[in-house]
Amino acid sequence: AQSVTQLGSHVSVSEGALVLLRCNYSSSVPPYLFWYVQYPNQGLQLLLKYTTGATLVKGINGFEAEFKKSETSFHLTKPSAHMSDAAEYFCAVNSGSARQLTFGSGTQLTVLP
């Protein structure tokens, strides 16, 4: 079985501040990990993904995430928040053969001017 826990359903940061969104996963086999972003009234868009290889993954819009197996974590970071980063962010894990993505409950990011 696989599961994802996102700590903090709402996160607020000031423009220019560090963004840190937390994701912990549970998987019985080596996982594939994803971060998706959802802007208001839109579908989900892939930010970045970890499959194999380098544990620090860079994505679009300046975001990156680090896979830490010992901590079963895949936290999302961005050094400097921008107003356009305000959205809902979902962490997801896939560790099965049926390509089933299991999503976390989401974190709403608010960027304050």
Site for another protein in 24-43 (CB under 8 A): 32, 34, 36, 41-43
- Which residue's CB is nearer to another protein, number 51 or number 80? 51
Asked if 52 is part of the footprint of another protein (rule: CB under 8 A), the reply reads yes
Asked if 94 is part of the footprint of another protein (rule: CB under 8 A), the reply reads yes
**C-alpha span between 23 and 90 (Å, rounded):** 9
Least Cβ distance, residue 71 to another protein (angstroms): 21
Beta bridge partner(s), residue 51:
none
Closest listed residue to residue 92, CA positions, set 34, 14, 43: 34
Asked if 22 is part of the footprint of another protein (rule: CB under 8 A), the reply reads no
Which of 17, 22, 26, 49 is close enough to bind another protein by CB under 8 A? 49
Interface residue list for another protein (CB under 8 A): 4, 6, 9, 32, 34, 36, 41-46, 49, 51-52, 90, 94, 98-106
